[in-house]
Structure 1
Amino acid sequence: MTSIPKTSRRDFLKLAAAAGGGLVLGFHWESAEAKIMNVIHGGTVAGSDISFNSYLSISPDDVITIFSPNPELGQNIKTSFPMIVAEELDADWTKVHVQQAMLDTKKYERQVTGGSGAIPHSWERLRKAGATARYMLMEAAAKRWSVPASSLTAEHGVVYHKESGRKATYGELATDASAIAVPADVKLKDKKDFKLIGTAVRNVDSKQMITGKPLYGLDFYREGMLFAMLQRPPAFGTKIKSVDAAAAKAMPGIVDVVTFKNNVAVVGKSTWQVNKARKALKVEYEPDGAAALESTTDHDQIFKKLLDSSDPNVVSVKRKDGDADAAFKTAAKVITKEYQCPFLSHSPLEPMNFFAHVRPDGVELVGPSQTPDMARNETAKLLNIPPEQITLELTRLGGGFGRRLKADYVLEAAELSSLIKAPVKVIWTREDDMTGGSYRPAVRYRFSAALDAKGNLVGYKLRGVGINAGNCTREDNFPSGAVDNLQIESIEHKSPITTGAWRAPITNFLAFAEQAFIDEVAMAAGKDPVAFRLDLLAKAKTTPVGAIKYDIDRMKGVIDLVVEKSQWGKKKGVSQGFSVYFSHRSYVAQVAEIEMKKGKPVLEKIHAAADCGVVVNISGANQQVRGGVTDGLGHALFGSLTFKDGAAEQKNFNNYRLIRMKEVPAIDVHFVNNGIDPTGLGEPALPPTGGAVANALFKALGKRLYNQPFTKQEELKGVSLGERL
């Protein structure tokens, strides 16, 4: 499988025409109906304009090309989408090519990467598109050979009539197939008959990535374009007082220095020249006046105050079942604990960047975005032009983790291009990314549990305070529905520090806090932590309290699988910690294993059991789980971004700690094979990791962890965690 270079739709049609004929089949990602949009004969395109928004083409030389509309940032969507089409098509995978589509809201629905939702959204649409093309090819062969279509079979891009020994490739049949009426409906394969889906398939961009071919936004280059870097305020809550750009303007290669909004842009002929000149700027800042210069110590005080607040205008009750206050008054035992997490940088390998060319007749945007339609719409609003006058070409994203859901860096490029009247590419440095970016919100939670004399959980309270976090709880997640008396509350503190979605928003830390707390409650109840959760799930199934928004059987399924694979509770000399979580429609359970070696705890292995429905690409799915576990582990252990007077104290990887290769344990991945449609996998493996590791550390060291990062906590002070930890 290979990927053809990025081209426009017009170039794509020229490419197909040059192949000498064939079938171009368009399929709409919303309706999943395939229709003949253009028939190419002898190098000419016949028919009306293409009005659908994704295309499956089959050329006479048997090459199948598919446009993939969703942004690709490492979640393997650019490989998985065509796999689904090729499965129903019975295509020869070695002859399938995939091409990244440009933004086109008339043809595509949900051209977004976020929320682990791409495969769940497009699964049936893609299958129908492939099945429709296969039907038309089979009908064309039946008509050519004057035999019933039911007597034909297809495999690896070839149609067979076994009775007569005749066969024809899809390329040979493509032109004839263009004359076949498009069926109103098609029969999809039984999932047990899948041959490609569920196998290991190499990423379609692997060769280009390994050989350094242009793929990413940073790779994009246009002859004559300029480069720019922006000096942004060093602290949230400050504004520009004065700018002295004389020295910067005098440096080699510098074209202009422009001040706009609260930024100073240095524009020049190369990134090296621009970066050097930016350092020569003399910019004075002053307090904004409307925003406080907050520090991490301020946030600690804010958390304490709001967790104790009784103001109904401040506290938002998200769920209330029974009478939690009454349950706590009569409880035999009450457990209350608090958990806190810091701000985190997204730290994608590729810093923010975007190209913009604002012309009198329209705007061209090129670069990496998780939400290209939003980027275009915000650009249109900024420039006061219709969105239809803006084109946006997507490059591959060198990581995103939620940071590229925002369009601030796109708007910077568009506004700067409009001011300097030239094409320009804005590039952020790592320091820009870390100090002026959008962070995971800092949050503090207070959990309380009420147990009766038999150790049954009869009351449960959670109050969360988040800094620009919105609702920092997930009130309908487990154990909601399994506790008679439950109350979930959320409080938000508004801050000038910008925050946004960070991989598995909110649940990335909430899962650790919930799962660590449930373990502690289970211990107080004198019960095995896994058995304690299973008892709660059984109660939710037999006598549910309020709405159940999670699938009890699916959660139990991953628990049972990870218990089996990890041999839970049966290993000697191994401290095991358990965690299970539901997020983004999927379920993941984990068991972390720590062994004491020469008096030091070493994290040897993490077992993960995932239920994401049908696994499209087992290779990609394995990497998604391993990547999620590693990401969750690294940030739970080390990640921390702190502020002093509104300024980030960590500016690069010299003092913002990421996990290292030698610290990653063995990760054992298993999938529940329940045959349901895919439910997403980009984020669900991350949330359970912190809880599993924290619970294993407690068993190994007898110390509970309540805050992240773990390695900076008093509970582990003086404890050597071993090479892997």
Structure 2
Amino acid sequence: MISRRTLLRGAGIGALVVAVPVPALAAEGFVPNVFVRMDAAGRITATVPRPDTGQGVRTVVALMVAEELAVDPGDVALEQAHGDTERFGAQGVANSTSVRQLSTPIRTAAATARCLLVTAAAERWRVPVAECTARDGAVHHPRRGRAPYRSLVRAAAALDPATVPVELTPQDRWRLLGKTRGGRVDARAITTGRTRYGIDSRPPGGLVAVVARPPWIGAVPDTIDDAATRALPGVVDVLPLIAPAEGQGGVAVIARSTHQALRGRDALRVTWRGGTPTADSRAWLADLRAALPAQSPVDGLQRVFEMPLLAHAPMEPMNATAHVRPDGVTIWAPTQDPGSLRTQLARQLGLPASSVRVETTASGGAFGRRIEPDPVLEAVACSRRAGAPVQVLWTRADDMRNDSYRPMSVHRLSAEIGPDGLPIRRAHEVVTWPLTVLPIFSNPALIKASGDHFPYSVPGDVTVAVRPAPLRTGFWRSVYAGQFVYAEENFLSEIGRRSGLDQVALRRSLLPAGSRLHQVLDKVAERARWSRPPAPGTARGVACLEEYGSAIAVIAVAEPSSRRVLRVHAAVDVGVALHPSGVRAQVEGCVVDALSTVLGAQITVREGQVAQSSFGDYRWARIGQTPDVDVTIVPSTAPLGGLGELAYPPAAAAIAAAISGDTPVTGMPFGADVG
């Protein structure tokens, strides 16, 4: 086992490089490291081990390093790690784990650098280390004065870190972490166009490819007439792609520009065979309904909830760039997991991992979609054929109609109600599809573990039946929890309405006293002034969730007659909120996703094809529909929790309950036909 503090020399003469193992991941068989380095001029660089898909990982890394090194965040240059699990550990952005798993190792790496610098200064001045302090990029002593970090780098690099005690900066001395001031460190670069996304990656001599994709689900090319395409200016080649080794399959047109590639695709004449040209999501929904058991195990109030397909629809459509050479391959991609992608490509191409480099670009949204490699596999196939770098671009319609969708599901909830109006026994029966992108998710127990987070003291059980998925399905923000929690919370709201119970009091009575959910529920009720009657013409909805090591309660206020959501209040306990403004941004993003899906965004399939092709018919919420969002961060001594997916399930449930008013909610999207 590598020591907790290890100094790696070799980044240049006089440079201080600190590497600290990631203990949270060591049990998975890795010995990963995150790095903080300082050059001879005192310039600080932090390596960000995981991608930033919009959730603010880069900002939190900068704040942690700046806090421990006692410098300004602007003094910390950030370097995005390439794919390398041996060096950086697990690099996947999933399950709201990034900040949780990086906090201790990155802070420890920066604190180790600080302690080495302080020790070097103390030895130079021949004074006790305890008399020295780090502040504003220098070490200070009451009598000896000030030594800038740059003057101490060489001496610090010569020390053995195993002999230097390391202490993290205690929370009561934080200057940056946990403070409300400050936004994203990359905000200016993003808003001025300097940030380079995957779609901006075009190496010198690079070509562009677009893919003619099947007109119905599962079809493959039968005949290809590419004569007209090859005759067009700029077209370099036409390449059939075979799934799954080369992505989702289809016919790629490789050209010298995007415009030429799109023209070439339009000129292709392809006939298709196989697949399911008559597929219809209404029939899929009927199949799920029919798979429910004939009889519920609990007699009493009963409701069936139906959940539609949902697309990820990130603002940056799918793309990837590959340069396959005789000696290896380089990838530029907005991936959620560069380390695993590198391993997969090395295995698939028969190359040593050292010959595969995955450069992680900024990502214009992900929400689970970019954990999949299909655009990269398409780019690799095209580059091998062309002998040059090739960027594969998906149009918005390509992205919308060839996604890995959130599965459909049907939920039947039943409850026996006691004389006091409270539920005394419950049942939740689920029929859904697996996640085809990860076959292990055909296991009902795993689906239940992902989705079922019922926190209330009502005995009962959840059963899951899995039907074969008729199209690609994948991870969508909060995975199965978004569906389970939506059904459970809306069913509990209906129980409260039928029994004439206050919705907040109902939940308080069923939650363990003193629990984290009790605290956030009380706080959000206070913020939303729950004790006052709702304004005329308005209704309110409530929902809670404890998951990802965090707890949240949400109250939504809406006008049922207009289906307009006026306000959403959220109180969240994430343990220690390292970057409060980032916490609020994550909750706000989840609220917009929740509002969009409740108001009607869904994917439907007709005649074998996804009907939606853009934001024109996949109706994500517009600015004018977005409510005021009030986020309260509840002080907590709990360990650091996750956040990226936390707010979506309860926000969707609370919004649906508020819009419904006194009408029972029976599905999602609210007021629309599912399927």
- Normalising by structure 1, report the TM-score: 0.84
Unaligned runs of 5+ in 2: 1-8, 26-30, 243-248, 436-440
1:467–1:389 distance in 2 versus 1, CA, 3 Å: same
Q: Pick the aligned partner of 2:85 from 105, 117, 127.
A: 105
Q: Is 1:523 paired with 2:510?
A: no
Unaligned runs of 5+ in 1: 1-12, 34-50, 311-323, 542-551, 715-725
Q: Pick the aligned partner of 1:205 from 167, 186, 201.
A: 186
Q: Pick the aligned partner of 1:182 from 161, 166, 176.
A: 161
Paired residues of 1:26 and 1:52 also in contact (CA < 8 A): no
Q: Give the Cα–Cα distance (whole angstroms) in 1 for the partners of residues 220 and 32 of structure 2.
A: 47
Q: Is 1:67 paired with 2:76?
A: no
Q: Is 1:26 paired with 2:6?
A: no
What displacement does 1:461 show? 0.6
Q: Give the Cα–Cα distance (whole angstroms) in 1 for the partners of residues 449 and 306 of structure 2.
A: 16
Aligned to 2:205: 224
1:79–1:112 distance in 2 versus 1, CA, 3 Å: same
Q: Is 1:301 paired with 2:282?
A: no
Could you give the per-residue CA deviations for residues 61-111 of structure 1, whole angstroms, max 9, x where no partner exists?
432111111011100001101211221222232311111111112211121
Aligned to 1:421: 387
What displacement does 1:214 show? 4.6
What displacement does 1:572 show? 4.4
Q: Give the Cα–Cα distance (whole angstroms) in 2 for the partners of residues 252 and 601 of structure 1.
A: 52
Q: Pick the aligned partner of 1:483 from 458, 464, 467.
A: 458
Q: Give the Cα–Cα distance (whole angstroms) in 1 for the partners of residues 32 and 53 of structure 2.
A: 25
Aligned to 1:9: none
Q: Give the Cα–Cα distance (whole angstroms) in 1 for the partners of residues 223 and 294 of structure 2.
A: 42
Paired residues of 1:464 and 1:490 also in contact (CA < 8 A): yes
Which letter does structure 2 place at the counterpart of 1:422?
A
Q: Is 1:498 paired with 2:479?
A: no
Helix, strand or coil at the partner of 1:284: strand
Helix, strand or coil at the partner of 1:437: coil
Mapping for residues 230-379 of structure 1, pairs under 5 Å: 230-261=211-242, 262-288=249-275, 293-308=278-293, 325=297, 328=298, 334-379=300-345
Q: Give the Cα–Cα distance (whole angstroms) in 1 for the partners of residues 563 and 261 of structure 2.
A: 48
* More displaced stretch, 427-436 vs 567-576: 567-576
Paired residues of 1:705 and 1:713 also in contact (CA < 8 A): no
Helix, strand or coil at the partner of 1:375: helix
Which letter does structure 2 place at the counterpart of 1:430?
R
Mapping for residues 43-122 of structure 1, pairs under 5 Å: 53-122=33-102
Q: Give the Cα–Cα distance (whole angstroms) in 1 for the partners of residues 195 and 170 of structure 2.
A: 39
Could you give the per-residue CA deviations for residues 547-604 of structure 1, whole angstroms, max 9, x where no partner exists?
xxxxx711112111101111113144152211111232221111111258xx746422
* More displaced stretch, 427-436 vs 151-160: 151-160
What displacement does 1:188 show? 2.1
1:704–1:455 distance in 2 versus 1, CA, 3 Å: closer
Aligned to 2:575: 613
Helix, strand or coil at the partner of 1:160: strand
Q: Pick the aligned partner of 1:592 from 553, 556, 579.
A: 556
Could you give the per-residue CA deviations for residues 372-394 of structure 1, whole angstroms, max 9, x where no partner exists?
22222332333233333211111
Q: Give the Cα–Cα distance (whole angstroms) in 2 for the partners of residues 72 and 182 of structure 1.
A: 30
1:258–1:512 distance in 2 versus 1, CA, 3 Å: same
Helix, strand or coil at the partner of 1:675: coil
What displacement does 1:31 show? 4.7
Q: Is 1:577 paired with 2:541?
A: yes
Aligned to 2:438: none
Aligned to 1:388: 354
Q: Pick the aligned partner of 1:158 from 119, 138, 150.
A: 138
1:603–1:214 distance in 2 versus 1, CA, 3 Å: closer
Could you give the per-residue CA deviations for residues 478-537 of structure 1, whole angstroms, max 9, x where no partner exists?
4367223x1211111213310100111112232221111111122334422222222211
Paired residues of 2:319 and 2:333 also in contact (CA < 8 A): yes
Q: Give the Cα–Cα distance (whole angstroms) in 2 for the partners of residues 663 and 249 of structure 1.
A: 47
1:348–1:475 distance in 2 versus 1, CA, 3 Å: closer
What displacement does 1:250 show? 0.7
Aligned to 1:563: 525
Q: Give the Cα–Cα distance (whole angstroms) in 2 for the partners of residues 379 and 475 of structure 1.
A: 28
Q: How many residues align?
A: 642
Which letter does structure 1 place at the counterpart of 2:225?
D
Aligned to 1:42: none
Q: Percent identity?
A: 32
Could you give the per-residue CA deviations for residues 12-39 of structure 1, whole angstroms, max 9, x where no partner exists?
x99x85xxx6432231342599xxxxxx
Q: Pick the aligned partner of 1:705 from 649, 665, 670.
A: 665
RMSD: 2.4
1:131–1:372 distance in 2 versus 1, CA, 3 Å: same
Mapping for residues 638-653 of structure 1, pairs under 5 Å: 638-653=600-615
Could you give the per-residue CA deviations for residues 163-216 of structure 1, whole angstroms, max 9, x where no partner exists?
x16111222222221122203652223212211101233323222212212510
Mapping for residues 425-504 of structure 1, pairs under 5 Å: 425-469=391-435, 470=441, 471=444, 472-474=447-449, 477-479=452-454, 482-484=457-459, 486-504=460-478
Paired residues of 1:266 and 1:278 also in contact (CA < 8 A): yes
